Amino acid sequence: MSLKSDSNSDMEEIKKLLDYQPSGLSDEDIENADSEMEYFFVNFPLHEARANLWELYKGWVHLEAESPEGEEMTDMLFFCNQMISLLNFSFIVTRQKQNR
């Protein structure tokens, strides 16, 4: 199997996973994911992005109809922390590619 064929099958698999929930991403967006990460950090510097995510978490806690407890609270806090880690690692990858 050729490299291009592998790339096409990889792209099809990515599209299947993205299309499970409509992503609104074009083929070009998928192929240029690195530039999309760069674009994100142009609009939302790292510290601002982390602060915005934390504000969303606090809003979820305060606006829940019933006060979240136990596992639900733990799961959401874990999700928030993992999203912050994702932001951090995306920022690192973006900066490393810019500095090459």
Report the alpha-carbon distance of residue 17 to residue 23 in Å, rounded: 10
User: According to the model, what pLDDT value does residue 84 have?
Assistant: 92
Its pTM surpasses 0.75:
no
Q: How much is the mean pLDDT over the chain?
A: 80
Other C-beta atoms closer than 10 Å to the C-beta of 49 total 19
Other C-beta atoms closer than 10 Å to the C-beta of 40 total 15
User: According to the model, what pLDDT value does residue 50 have?
Assistant: 92
User: According to the model, what pLDDT value does residue 5 have?
Assistant: 57
Report the alpha-carbon distance of residue 21 to residue 53 in Å, rounded: 21
Query: pLDDT, tens digit, for every residue of 33-65?
Result: 788 888 888 999 999 999 999 998 888 888 766
Report the alpha-carbon distance of residue 65 to residue 19 in Å, rounded: 31
As a dihedral over the C-alpha atoms of residue 66, residue 71, residue 72, residue 75, rounded to 10 degrees, the angle is 160
Residue 1, pLDDT > 50, answer no
